[in-house]
Amino acid sequence: MHSKTLNRTIAVTGVLAAVVVLSACSSGDESTPSESSGDLTIGAIDLSEACPATVVIQTDWNPESEHGHLYELLGDTYEIDAGAKSVTGPLLASGEYTGVDVEIRAGGPAIGFQTVSSQMYQDTDITLGYVSTDEAIQLSSETPTKAVYAPLDISPTMVMWDPETYPDVETIDDILPALSANGGVWRYFDGSAYIEYLKSSGLADDSILDGSYDGTPANFVAAAGKDMQQGFASAEPYIYENEVEAWGKPVGFSLIHDSGWETYQSSVSVRTEALEELTPCLELLVPVLQQAGKDFYDDPAAANALILDLVEQYDTGWTYTEGVAEFSVQQQIDLGLVGNGTNDTYGDFDETRFTDFFDKASAVYSDMGTPPVDGLTVEDLYTNEFIDPSIGL
């Protein structure tokens, strides 16, 4: 496996395949017919001279609430291509037309579980893509990318457990002694880089680790609380309590981020070679993305309704319920998965944190035999130059 993104796609596929599908709360039509872009009046922000006529954004998974800031860019005018797993419509800034269209493409099964960075190099029509920091470091020699906006401040990747079995476990620091004493294992996806980091930090060792996690709840349920498992804090706590009938109770969890593996997940990025050409566009577009995120978390109802409709129409075998969508938004806010970080700005990168993670991840990937490209620096991987510091949540 090349990235945490791929691990995530398999995890969510397996878990949600085991739960009941709840119909999306929209019509399921292939598109919402309305006026064409040519009939719209450009508002306060005009992207038509600086940006491509259609800004193409490649996501890392099926539509979900973590992507709400993108779907907030669409209004009532859009066309859904269920075969291509994409939706296209006028790109709006707080409801006003910007002079260009936006096409949002699904990832994961829609692109054969390829990494987004590889997809961006195969199809250079893609303007922006979701690339996590660990992926950007690991694949820097093959598909170099540069992040320009961070919709998630903290990765939702977690380890979860049964709080009845492990009442004294609160953080990842507590897991190794607890599992060792009880004979349980921490089930995860083989190849997960964060596991190698935890081992090097003394927070886990081979005696408690099991890389056989297949994404389904079966083994966790069968262990009756003895084992722990990888997951995503913005989804599984709700799913296991409310949609996995064989479990049906709360889980405890701790974010991998809190162990020191502080990747920026799903960072909006460009191909490094395209940065100069896209700079005039990014200067205008990135603040629009920031504001769209703010608007989404202020009122997620419309974008979530579209997300649910898209999941139904794309029909990839994955399910996403209204309950999960609503839980995800609130959980992102409550856990600080989305937020302003250490300042008052939404969507920027923290230099100290990025540098610290760069050093950790470079060492881990070198040990795994996939080192970053020679000479890679932190400055090669991200920039805050397009961020509007006045936009915060």
235, 259, 283 — which closes off a domain? Answer: 259
Cα 199 off chain centre by: 24
**Within-domain flag for 392:** no
94 and 197 share a domain? no
The answer, as to whether pTM is greater than 0.85, is yes
211 and 285 share a domain? no
pLDDT value of residue 1? 32
**Within-domain flag for 81:** yes
- The residue type at 264: Y
Domain that holds residue 245: 157-259
pLDDT value of residue 18? 41
**Within-domain flag for 91:** yes
At 282-330, the pLDDT tens digits run: 999 999 999 999 999 999 999 999 999 999 999 998 889 999 999 999 9
Helices (H), 228-350: 236-242, 275-298, 301-314, 322-334
Structure-token pair, residue 39: 């009939």
Domain count, the chain: 2
141 and 165 share a domain? no
26 and 109 share a domain? yes
C-alpha to C-alpha distance for 298 and 114, rounded to whole angstroms: 33
**Within-domain flag for 105:** yes
233, 259, 285 — which closes off a domain? Answer: 259
Using only C-alpha atoms, the chain has a radius of gyration, in whole angstroms, of 20
pLDDT value of residue 353? 95
At 22-66, the pLDDT tens digits run: 223 333 344 443 445 667 999 999 999 999 999 999 999 999 999
**Within-domain flag for 388:** no
**Within-domain flag for 390:** no
172 and 148 share a domain? no
259, 292, 310 — which closes off a domain? Answer: 259
Q: Which DSSP string do the residues of 73-130 spell out, in sequence order?
A: T--S-EEEETTTTEEEEEEEETTEEEEEEEEEE--GGGGTT--HHHHHHH-TT--EEE
**Within-domain flag for 49:** yes
50 and 66 share a domain? yes
Cα–Cα nearest to 8, from 256, 289, 315: 256
**Within-domain flag for 343:** yes
Check if the beta carbon of residue 197 is closer than 8 Å to that of residue 360: yes
pLDDT value of residue 7? 43
C-alpha to C-alpha distance for 177 and 386, rounded to whole angstroms: 45
148 and 162 share a domain? no
Residues in the chain with pLDDT values less than 70: 1-38
21 and 142 share a domain? yes
Structure-token pair, residue 345: 């700005």
29: domain CATH number is: 3.40.190.10
227 and 91 share a domain? no
203 and 103 share a domain? no
219 and 355 share a domain? no
62 and 144 share a domain? yes
